[in-house]
Amino acid sequence: MSTFKPLAVSIAVAALLGACATQTTDTVVPTRGPNLGRTPTAQEIRAADISIPPSGAGLPAGSGDAKAGAQVYASKCLACHGEKGAGKPADALVGGIGSLATPKPLRTVGSYWPYATTLFDYTRRAMPLQNPKTLTDDEVYAVSAYILFLNGIIAENAPMNAQTLPLVKMPNRDGFVDYSRK
């Protein structure tokens, strides 16, 4: 029992020292870490940095047009997204432009997505669903061009690449209201 005595004394002292000593811990947020992070190599960062913002920063070299994209689409995308991006079982990619304010809105890449860079970003990171990240950059550019062409947004022979893709003006570019500060 003697081991309990010092503890009891210290609790009593702590209580005398005031509220700080007996403060509950749910308001304590650590403010300092042990600095264990390692500096990654430039190559490590390059390999991981696959996100593409609307500016197109980070788009890779390579190029592709709708004709080449139709081939990629037929072998890699059609089974889920249907003929010419009509959808079923997965999302429709084509059509619906002008439908958003009607009683039957159809939200597709063409009618709803505000930036073409998102199409490249998402296709390259997550498609095709069974084998994501297996398309070459040329294939991603080409299949992006094909979807944009089917939507009537670019010409069939317009190449998509790091320069041209960010310049594509999507029909619903101004269709979003930013609520991040509301």
Partner 1 sequence: MDTPSRKPDAAAQLPATAGATVGRRKFLTHGITAAGAAVAGIALPARAAEPIGKDFPAWATTMGKPLSTYGQPSRFEEPVKRYTGSAYGTLAPGTGTARTPLEKLEGVITPNGLHYDRSHNGTPEIDPAKHKLLIHGLVKRPLTFSIADLSRYPMVSRICFIECAGNSSATAISPEPPQGSAGLVHGLVSCADWTGVPLALLLDEAGVDPAGKWLLAEGADSAAMSRSVPMEKAYDDAIVALYQNGERLRPENGYPVRLLLPGWEGNMSVKWLSRIKVTDGPTHTKDETSKYSDPMPDGKARQFTFEQGVKSLITRPSAGMTMNGAGLYEISGLAWSGAGRISRVEVSLDGGATWRDAALQGQALPKSLVRFRLPWDWNGQPAQLQSRAIDEKGNVQPTRKAYKAENAVDGRFHNNTITTWSIGADGSVKNVYV
> Under the criterion CB under 8 A, does residue 34 sit at the interface with partner 1?
yes
> Under the criterion CB under 8 A, does residue 54 sit at the interface with partner 1?
yes
141, 161 in Cβ contact below 8 A?
yes
Of 86, 90, 97, 158, which one interacts with partner 1 (CB under 8 A)? Answer: 90
> Under the criterion CB under 8 A, does residue 167 sit at the interface with partner 1?
no
Nearer to partner 1, 5 or 32 (CB): 32
> Under the criterion CB under 8 A, does residue 133 sit at the interface with partner 1?
yes
170, 113 in Cβ contact below 8 A?
yes
- Positive or negative CA dihedral for 14, 19, 24, 30? negative
Who contacts 81 (Cβ-Cβ below 8 Å, separation ≥6)? 73, 87, 90, 91, 92, 93
Nearer to partner 1, 84 or 107 (CB): 107
Among the residue ranges 59-67, 69-77, 84-92, 156-164, the one whose residues contact partner 1 (CB under 8 A): 84-92
Who contacts 16 (Cβ-Cβ below 8 Å, separation ≥6)? none
Among the residue ranges 15-23, 34-42, 144-152, 160-168, the one whose residues contact partner 1 (CB under 8 A): 34-42
Give the 3-state secondary structure of residue 63.
strand
Of 10, 22, 40, 74, which one interacts with partner 1 (CB under 8 A)? Answer: 40
> Under the criterion CB under 8 A, does residue 33 sit at the interface with partner 1?
yes
What residues does 110 pair with on adjacent strands?
A: none
Type and span of the H or E element at 161:
strand 160-161
Contacts with partner 1 by CB under 8 A lie at 29-40, 44-45, 48-54, 80, 89-91, 100-101, 103-105, 107, 109, 112-115, 117-118, 121-122, 125-126, 129-130, 132-133, 175-180
